[in-house]
Homo-oligomer: A and B are copies of this chain.
């Protein structure tokens, strides 16, 4: 009998789901919209209903399901299997997700923070090559991330480890982060951060730049525009991308000096700038990493794209994160 794992990657727009083989291969995947009305009270019920329907259609029974893993936004208690403060789902109060899944399915259920789950997916089946020590930086609207140590998610003393987006690497810039601090990585090295860098540096830039028109019509300025202008050789855009890469490389060096991972994975929408960005980040990371560590740390691009979440969620079922023990 073939055994499957169900991986769930819940986000503010949709919940992605998949049947995944224990070796990480996706058998089939689907998604449903996240219903954020009524304080998001239908979100979990809709996911459960969708899984039941899909299992029926595929003629799968619970005995075919090894377990269910789920990544969610918000502040997760992975032991109690609850989440609170997932504002993009309107989840302001404690959500007893583990209890709801246990009531519906008599199989093991695991819940983790979505950024950690994506990091676990990339570590296991993506750019991490299943190495034991891997860190992921997800460059999107903000900067998320996750730290994998010995193949398991690092939680820290109150479940908040891996807040790599809030490493204070740009204190001297005075640029404010949405968290209230000054100089966070997220404030200078995300989709919004790169626009902050343009705003900050354009004041003292005296040359020409093809960004000028976009800067006047501010709504058009985006990470994509800026990277494209840099690739075309626009001097100011190249300078901005260099600053962006410097901050990422400096943050990567802090992670390397502290954790000695074999790989630091760059993911998220902004990482689509690809090798052009990766090589610059690597150069700065090398510059600031202790010699015995830097030769052993690669900066690599994420490989799983949007599938990192469902694959990482499935991994929760085969690497028990709570007891720190490998099951498979």
A interface residues, Cβ below 8 angstroms from B: 75, 131-133, 147, 149-150, 154-164, 166-168, 171-172, 179-184, 250, 253-255, 257-262, 287-293, 296-297, 324
When distances are taken between beta carbons in the complex, the residues of chain B under 8 Å from A155 are: 260
CB pair B131 A157 closer than 8 Å:
yes
Docked Cα-Cα span, A167 to B127, in Å, equals 25
Residues of B within 8 A of A289 (CB): 166, 181
Q: How many copies does the complex hold?
A: 2
| CB of A70 to closest CB in B, whole Å | 21
The one of B160, B183, B290 in contact with A290, judged by C-beta atoms closer than 8 angstroms, is B160
Residues of the B chain whose Cβ atoms lie less than 8 Å from the Cβ of A259: 147, 154, 156, 161, 258
**Chain B residue at minimal CB-CB distance from A249:** B168
Majority-rule SS of A interface residues: loop
Find A160's partner among B75, B158, B162, B260 (CB 8 Å cutoff). Answer: B260
CB-defined A-B contacts under 8 Å, sample of 29 = A131-B157, A132-B157, A147-B259, A149-B149, A149-B154, A156-B259, A156-B260, A157-B260, A157-B261, A157-B297, A158-B292, A160-B260, A160-B296, A163-B257, A163-B258, A163-B290, A163-B292, A164-B257, A164-B258, A166-B289, A166-B290, A167-B253, A167-B258, A168-B253, A168-B254, A168-B257, A168-B288, A171-B288, A180-B291
